[in-house]
Amino acid sequence: MKPSGSPWLRILLLFAGLGLWEAAVRLFHVPTYILPAPTRVAMAFYRGVVSMVYVDNLWITLLETVLGFALGTALAFLLGTMVALSRRFEYYLYPFIVMFQALPKVALAPLIVVWFGLGLSSKVVNAALIAFFPLMVNTILGLRSADEDRINLMRSLDASETQIFWMLRLPGALPFIMAGVEVAMIFALIGAIVAEFVGAQSGLGVLIQSLNFSADIAGVFSVLLILSVLGLILNQVILLVRRRVLFWDPSEKRSPESTAGRGRL
Amino acid sequence: MPPVSPEKVIAVRQLCKAYATRAEPVPALQDIDFAMDEGEFVAVVGPSGCGKSTLLKILAGLIPASSGGAYLRGTSIAGPRRDIGVVFQAPVLFPWRNVIDNVLLPADVQRLDRASHARLARDLLDLVGLNGFENRYPWELSGGMQQRVAIVRALIHDPAMLLMDEPFGALDALTREQMTLELQRIWLERRKTVVFITHSISEAVFLADRVLVMTPRPGRIAETVKVDLPRPRGLDLIGTASFGNYTRRIRGHFNAANLSGTEL
């Protein structure tokens, strides 16, 4: 697809922004503990890389995120499928869903840390909890969105409900499910960081807090940079899977830029 | 009820259908009676709301009749059956399946041998002029091509009867004409028993051996018109006097009732 602007101008604007930031900080003598200049952030980043302080923490956060994502999406898919297929199951589960949906899930993080301790498990559980809802809702919507004509076609062929599920409902729900998975990946990262803020021994969230306490704001910025790159990479992995799974979906034929810009939390 | 003769492919006996509403049941079909021989092409024509789609759904086993019944080769159509092929108004192809896999859907559902049916599918795709398109996906095909795939899919498991519910209704006029010729060609070659639902009088006369003319609310068969025109019929037939006699006669039923919603 044709880009809607010049890529050079884009890069130029990015550097112009950084230059403006640098100039403003120097010109107005903004103290480093409030807003460090980009060059300071770069120096802090270099120091961090040399001291290997990022590697271990990054690994921990990544592990928490991926495990939480796997747990959360697996449960969301299972429960979402059960709700979508059984009106009775939905009837009894509905009050719980409504209660949890209204609740900001991050508010549960302190409780989760109390219950599951300061180690890996509380981060995984928190990440899973936050990743869970967007996918469950999308799974229900997707499985219920099966077109009436298509169901009639399957019925006219004497298909069983199981066949209708595997041959029609599930593939038809994949655009919804993949959209939910995309959000769940980023939400899992948020869940892991929040739980690290509440109480942990290692991870990028812990690193941010300790740098913050020692007023190393340039260091905090360097970790933020790492987190945003991590988020970007995780998102790209999902997009890659999505493009393979949904090769047939008309919305996949749009430029990937259009999904990258989508607002989320 | 008298026994239903098994040599009739389809027999419909005193079929009634009423839909339950909050107030009182609304009759959709009343006392529908007809039978079809092997290889016969019957068109059902009527304005919107005459219950012709309801009739097709009952024949397909998708909904039950309120009273009376429909029989396929002497056995009651009590639910979906594996010896019926249905073509809907929309092609209803699955976008995640390519052409050949869409065609093989009935074989997959009914767990028939895939290899032999794939061979059959290729022959049928040839017949409708779609050879070379086996591995294309539905979005790569035009509306007419998609509907051809749907027709092939309805034939793949060699059903005893083919049900078509306004199959060309969503196509543009030119494609529609072409598909009508195509369908005649397929039918002359394969000689399936076909029930063809349409609201186009000329389409019905052009294709059918017999036309069942239905009146609306509740749907009844007003007249059965036997079409004695030689086959294969060409498009130039449409301008002839004998063709006009048939269409005029059928249209008379709708003019009398002062109805709209029926073409030509």
Q: What is the ipTM of this complex?
A: 0.86
pLDDT value at residue A22: 93
- The 10s digit of each residue's pLDDT in B89-127 is 899 999 999 999 999 999 999 999 999 999 989 988 988
Contacts of B80 in chain A (CB under 8 A): 155-159
A149: closest CA of chain B, how far (Å): 7
A249: closest CA of chain B, how far (Å): 7
Count Cβ–Cβ pairs < 8 Å, chain A vs chain B: 56
- Name the pLDDT band for B171 (thresholds 50, 70, 90): confident
Contacts of B94 in chain A (CB under 8 A): 150, 167-168, 171-172
By CA distance, what is B156's nearest residue in A?
A: A157
Measure the CA–CA gap between B18 and B240, rounded to whole angstroms: 40
Contacts of B79 in chain A (CB under 8 A): 158
B82/A248 Cβ within 8 A: no
- Find the angle CA(B44)-CA(B50)-CA(B56) to the nearest 5 degrees: 50
By CA distance, what is A148's nearest residue in B?
A: B92
Contacts of B109 in chain A (CB under 8 A): 154, 157-159, 163, 167
pLDDT value at residue A265: 42
- Name the pLDDT band for B2 (thresholds 50, 70, 90): low
CA atoms within 13 A on the CB side of A259: 19
As a whole number, mean pLDDT of residues B63-73 equals 88
- Find the angle CA(A145)-CA(A102)-CA(A171) to the nearest 5 degrees: 20
Look-up of token digits 């928190």: A126
B82: closest CA of chain A, how far (Å): 6
Structure tokens belonging to residue B102:
């869409």
- The 10s digit of each residue's pLDDT in B125-155 is 988 888 899 999 999 999 889 999 999 999 9
Best of B84, B92, B151 to substitute, by most chain A Cβ atoms within 10 angstroms, is: B92
Compare B24 and B114 and report the one with higher pLDDT: B114
Asked if residue B10 has pLDDT above 50, the reply is yes
Q: How far is CA A126 from CA A100, A112, A197, in A?
A: 14, 7, 12
As a whole number, mean pLDDT of residues B14-40 equals 86
Please classify residue A207 by burial: count the beta carbons closer than 10 Å to its beta carbon, then call 0-12 exposed, 13-18 middle and 19+ buried: buried
Q: Which domains does chain A have, with CATH numbers?
A: 36-258 (1.10.3720.10)
pLDDT value at residue B217: 78
Neighbour count for residue B207 (Cβ, 10 Å):
24
B96/A149 Cβ within 8 A: no
pLDDT value at residue A257: 43
Q: Which domains does chain B have, with CATH numbers?
A: 39-64+79-210+221-256 (3.40.50.300)
Interchain contact A157–B (C-beta under 8 A) = yes
Interchain contact B135–A (C-beta under 8 A) = no
Measure the CA–CA gap between B165 and B195, rounded to whole angstroms: 8
Whether A219 and A48 have beta carbons less than 8 Å apart is answered as yes
A187: closest CA of chain B, how far (Å): 29
As a whole number, mean pLDDT of residues B155-177 equals 88
Alpha helices in A145-216 (DSSP H): 148-156, 161-164, 170-198, 204-213
Asked if residue A242 has pLDDT above 70, the reply is yes
DSSP E strand stretches across A10-162: none
As a whole number, mean pLDDT of residues A162-184 equals 95
A147/B80 Cβ within 8 A: no
Contacts of B139 in chain A (CB under 8 A): 248, 250
The one-character DSSP state at A165 is I
Measure the CA–CA gap between A175 and A111, rounded to whole angstroms: 34
Nearest to B96 among A155, A163, A171 (CB): A171
Compare A125 and B222 and report the one with higher pLDDT: A125
Helix (H) or strand (E) holding B15: strand B10-19
Residues in CB range of B178: below 8 A, 6 or more apart:
B144
Average pLDDT, chain A: 89
- The 10s digit of each residue's pLDDT in A45-58 is 999 898 888 999 99
Interchain contact B170–A (C-beta under 8 A) = no
As a whole number, mean pLDDT of residues A181-190 equals 95
Asked if residue A255 has pLDDT above 60, the reply is no
pLDDT value at residue B74: 83
Interchain contact A241–B (C-beta under 8 A) = no
What are the beta bridge partners of residue B220? B215
A12: closest CA of chain B, how far (Å): 40
Interchain contact A244–B (C-beta under 8 A) = no
- The 10s digit of each residue's pLDDT in A190-212 is 999 999 999 888 999 999 999 99
The one-character DSSP state at A110 is H
- The 10s digit of each residue's pLDDT in B179-232 is 889 889 888 888 889 999 998 999 999 999 999 999 887 888 888 889 888 888
Structure tokens belonging to residue A19:
């230059």
B109/A163 Cβ within 8 A: yes
Q: Is A47 helix (H, G, I), strand (E, B) or coil?
A: helix
A156/B62 Cβ within 8 A: yes
By CA distance, what is A150's nearest residue in B?
A: B92
Measure the CA–CA gap between A12 and B154, rounded to whole angstroms: 59
As a whole number, mean pLDDT of residues A206-226 equals 93
B residues 74-113 closer than 8 Å to A (CB): 79-82, 84, 86, 88, 90, 92, 94-96, 105-106, 108-110
- The 10s digit of each residue's pLDDT in A61-110 is 999 999 999 999 999 999 999 999 998 998 998 888 888 888 888 999 99
pLDDT value at residue B162: 93
Interchain contact B19–A (C-beta under 8 A) = no
A32: closest CA of chain B, how far (Å): 55
Maximum CA pair distance of chain A?
77
As a whole number, mean pLDDT of residues A8-21 equals 93
Helix (H) or strand (E) holding B213: strand B210-215
Residues in CB range of B105: below 8 A, 6 or more apart:
A153, A157, A167, B94, B97, B153
pLDDT value at residue A112: 94
Asked if residue A164 has pLDDT above 70, the reply is yes
Compare A64 and A257 and report the one with higher pLDDT: A64
Q: How far is CA A102 from CA A69, A75, A107, A242, B123, in A?
A: 21, 19, 11, 29, 57
Interchain contact A148–B (C-beta under 8 A) = no
Best of B56, B94, B99, B156 to substitute, by most chain A Cβ atoms within 10 angstroms, is: B94
Interchain contact A168–B (C-beta under 8 A) = yes
Asked if residue A264 has pLDDT above 50, the reply is no
Interchain contact A78–B (C-beta under 8 A) = no
Measure the CA–CA gap between B42 and A175, rounded to whole angstroms: 41
Whether B165 and B86 have beta carbons less than 8 Å apart is answered as yes
As a whole number, mean pLDDT of residues B33-45 equals 91
Average pLDDT, chain B: 87
pLDDT value at residue A262: 43
Whether B196 and B9 have beta carbons less than 8 Å apart is answered as no
Report the percent of chain A where pLDDT is more than 70.
Answer: 94
pLDDT value at residue B230: 87
Asked if residue A1 has pLDDT above 80, the reply is no
Measure the CA–CA gap between B215 and B31, rounded to whole angstroms: 12
